[in-house]
Amino acid sequence: MLKSVSTTALAAVLIGLCGCDSAAPEAAVAAAPQHPDFSGIWFPAGRQQDPRNPEFTPGAAAAAAEYEKAFTLDDDPGRYCQWPGMPRAVWGAPFTVEIQQRPQDFTLYWEGYGMYRKIFMADSAPPVPVLPSAMGYSVAHWEGDTLVVETSNLKQYPYMNRQATSDAAHVVERIRLEEREVDGQKTKFIVNELVLTDPKVYTGPIKITGTLRHRPDLQPLEYTCTDALWDEYLNERGLTLPDLDALPNPQG
Amino acid sequence: MKKLLTGLLVAALTAVAIPAAAHHSFAIYDMTQNIEFDGVVETLKMRNPHMAMTLTVTNPDGTKKTINFVEGAPANMIVRMGLNPADVAPGKPIKAFGAPRKDDPNAYFLKAIVLPDGRRYVSVGN
């Protein structure tokens, strides 16, 4: 935001110096859109879904039946550090979400699983998608105070009891800021109303609302998920790492 | 910072219960059980997605046994509740509540920790 304002101010000065029409700088400033600022530290604060139990397509229903024969809830990709990805990250695990907003893009960092996502603004020459990914390829535009984000290029998430999605999944998010009273204090919330469509997996759209509460008091923490997996490997190999923490410290 | 510390303290004192392992079910554990152990921390792994701990417990006859808490709350979550890892470092006496695995009664889910001064850190209904 500061950069945007500074750029605008610099442009105004340069236009003034050039001896151009004196009305032009004011017009440029007036035209600069003022958008909500989603930057900050946030924490999940609820989720609603409609329909609650989405109907599978015949192909997905057959896949789900096979899946249920072999898999249990404890065959959990999260335990093995697989990212939930989009759209599941929107209502995700109870850890902080950090958002950095610039005029040309948004960067989102989920503490849980260390997930990372870019949202590119459509009017800022977004790059072309390269590979399907867990978070997909997201391009956004503003409709008034609402950020509208379309996400595609998702790699499949074939866990049939965990909001499975295929490469045909498409997510449209409508994201806005709300101010609510919490314990007598005005508190900011991000409300994300998304629609998931996936014609390979679901017979109709799924509407989900995920809410984040502004929590500037929270410190994002590192979330290294693979330590236990590495320990298991070491145990299987019969290897023991040196304990450097147990060494004497000559500096006291 | 003062606000953060106050928040953490309040969380600790009120023993906030947060679903510690929301990403998977507890089906492999018999969560109806809530077995209490008094012991001394033997090993501690403050990590994600789940902390782990072993506790040395002294039997009535004076012999010792090790209780293996193979999973508990995510480290990030339990420190946000206010737990100071130093309070559960190896050698520290604590009370712990566990639910055994259905297929291995010697492996437990760590449902709650209670420090000698009464502070409770509950990861799953306890």
E strands along chain A, which residues? 40-50, 97-101, 105-110, 115-121, 137-143, 146-152, 170-182, 185-197, 206-214
pTM of the model: 0.80
Query: What is the SS3 assignment for A106?
Result: strand
Tokens for A196? 């998931």
CA gap A122, A107 in Å, rounded = 15
Range A207-219 average pLDDT: 97
B50 touches chain A (CB under 8 A): yes
Alpha carbon of residue B60 to chain centroid? 23
Amino acid at B17: A
Number of domains in chain B: 1
Indicate yes or no: CB of B79 within 8 angstroms of CB of A221: yes
**Domain of B46: which CATH number?**
2.40.50.140
DSSP chain B: -HHHHHHHHHHHHTT----TTTTS--TTB-TT--EEEEEEEEEEE--SS--EEEEEEE-TTS-EEEEEEEE-S-HHHHHHTT--GGGGSTT-EEEEEEEEBSS-TTEEEEEEEE-TTS-EEESS--
Distance to chain B for A150, nearest Cα, Å? 26
Confidence class for position B126, pLDDT limits 50, 70, 90: low
Range A201-213 average pLDDT: 97
Q: What is the mean pLDDT of chain B?
A: 83
Place of tokens 């520290």: B92
CA gap B85, A184 in Å, rounded = 33
pLDDT of residue A105: 98
B99 touches chain A (CB under 8 A): no
ipTM: 0.73
Residues 6 or more apart in contact with residue A152 via CB below 8 angstroms: A129, A136, A137, A169, A170, A171
Model confidence over B30-51: pLDDT tens digits? 999 999 999 999 999 999 989 9
CA gap A109, A107 in Å, rounded = 7
CA gap B108, B32 in Å, rounded = 12
DSSP A185-225: EEEEEEEEEEEEE-TTTBSS-EEEEEEEEE-TTPPP-----
Helix (H) or strand (E) holding A237: helix A227-237
Phi, psi dihedral angles at A66 (to 5 degrees): -65, -40
Cross-chain CB nearest to B23 (options A93, A217, A227): A93
CA gap A88, B105 in Å, rounded = 34
Query: What is the SS3 assignment for A174?
Result: strand
A143 touches chain B (CB under 8 A): no
Indicate yes or no: CB of A225 within 8 angstroms of CB of B45: no
Distance to chain B for A111, nearest Cα, Å? 9
Range B20-32 average pLDDT: 71
Domain range for B29: 2-122
Indicate yes or no: CB of B24 within 8 angstroms of CB of A223: no
Place of tokens 């510690």: B20
